């Protein structure tokens, strides 16, 4: 499964400001293209816009509410109140997951753990552990992140320019982005794919339509 992220972020240090209307539009495009899992977080301050877009796509019959997974990070009380389907955690390592799973009186175990995961940092051990506990690993940074200057060393390699991804892309006549997403899909990881661009959103959903496995990436 891949998921879409149409979050709006403002980065003053990069002079990047995306209007909220763009978030609404991109979320609608993503749902129309077939995305059912929309990632969000309080940090981005666009929960209202994403909610409006989802509501409008439910109203026009494109999707049903029960088919949408809208992941903000939730807690047990929200689930009790019927406000959340399931509970997920983020950036938990194995030890932290074990602490939660062994918590006395735990009522709802996390169904997913969202962590940085991509071809340069494939989280193999954590993935194996999550699978053994029926926790879905959700990958962020699957396309190499937005490379925000504040957080990413700009001299680090650009994931989508990786020569191995490039060779596989040529071989399968697909883009490096699709190869990076397909890699996650094949190993049972839910990959987030952040974009506000219609062509990219529509391209990313093609990951399900790749006829062959990409094979060699381990
Ligand atoms: N839990 C956490 O701590 C945490 C931390 C970071 C991020 N996240 C979440 O992770 C998700 C993914 O965000 P991310 O920042 O990690 O980014 P990402 O998905 O790894 O990469 C985003 C970048 O990929 C590019 N892209 C998307 N589709 C493409 C395509 N088909 N071809 C070429 N380039 C493409 C976009 O380029 P353009 O700029 O050209 O559109 C964008 O710059 C978000 O939902 C975010 O909320 C969570």
Closest CA to 18 of 184, 191, 129, 146: 146
Q: Which atom of ligand 1 is nearest to the CA of 199?
A: 31
Could you tell me if residue 182 is inside a domain? yes
How many domains does one find in the chain? Answer: 1
Per-residue model confidence (pLDDT) at position 15: 54
Can you give the residue range of the structural domain that contains 89?
2-209
Could you tell me if residue 85 is inside a domain? yes
Q: What is the pLDDT of residues 5-24, one digit of tens each?
A: 665 444 444 556 778 889 99
Specify whether the CB–CB gap between 73 and 41 falls below 8 A.
Answer: yes
Encoded tokens for 37: 């899992």
Per-residue model confidence (pLDDT) at position 13: 47
Per-residue model confidence (pLDDT) at position 44: 80
Could you tell me if residue 167 is inside a domain? yes
Per-residue model confidence (pLDDT) at position 12: 45
The CATH number assigned to the domain holding 36 equals 3.20.20.100
Could you tell me if residue 218 is inside a domain? no
Which residue among 11, 44, 70, 108 is the active-site one?
44
Per-residue model confidence (pLDDT) at position 198: 97
Could you tell me if residue 170 is inside a domain? yes
Q: What is the DSSP letter of 3?
A: E
Could you tell me if residue 214 is inside a domain? no
Q: Which residue positions in the chain have pLDDT lower than 50?
A: 8-13
- Rounded to the nearest angstrom, the distance between the alpha carbon of 105 and the centre of ligand 1 is 36
The whole-angstrom separation of Cα 139 and Cα 129 is: 15
Count other C-beta atoms under 10 Å from residue 46's C-beta: 23
Per-residue model confidence (pLDDT) at position 71: 75
């Amino acid at each position: 499964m891949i998921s879409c992220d149409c979050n709006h972020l403002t980065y003053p240090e990069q002079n990047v400001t995306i209007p909220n209307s763009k978030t609404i539009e991109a979320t609608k495009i993503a749902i129309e293209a077939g995305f059912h899992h929309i990632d969000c977080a309080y940090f981005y301050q666009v929960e209202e816009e994403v909610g409006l877009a989802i509501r409008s796509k439910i109203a026009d019959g494109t999707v049903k509410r029960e088919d949408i997974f809208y992941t903000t990070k939730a807690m047990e009380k929200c689930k009790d109140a019927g406000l959340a389907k399931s509970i997920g955690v983020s950036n938990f390592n194995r030890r932290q997951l074990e602490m939660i799973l062994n918590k006395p009186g735990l009522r709802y175990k996390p169904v997913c753990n969202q962590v940085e995961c991509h071809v340069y940092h494939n989280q193999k051990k954590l993935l194996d552990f999550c699978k053994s506990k029926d926790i879905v690993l959700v990958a962020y940074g699957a396309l190499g992140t937005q490379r925000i200057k504040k957080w990413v060393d700009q001299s680090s390699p650009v994931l989508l320019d990786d020569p191995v991804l490039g060779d596989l892309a040529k071989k399968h006549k697909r883009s490096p982005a699709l190869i990076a997403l397909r890699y996650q899909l094949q190993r049972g990881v839910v990959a987030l794919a952040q974009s506000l661009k219609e062509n990219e959103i529509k391209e990313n959903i093609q990951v399900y339509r790749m006829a062959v496995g990409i094979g060699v990436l381990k």
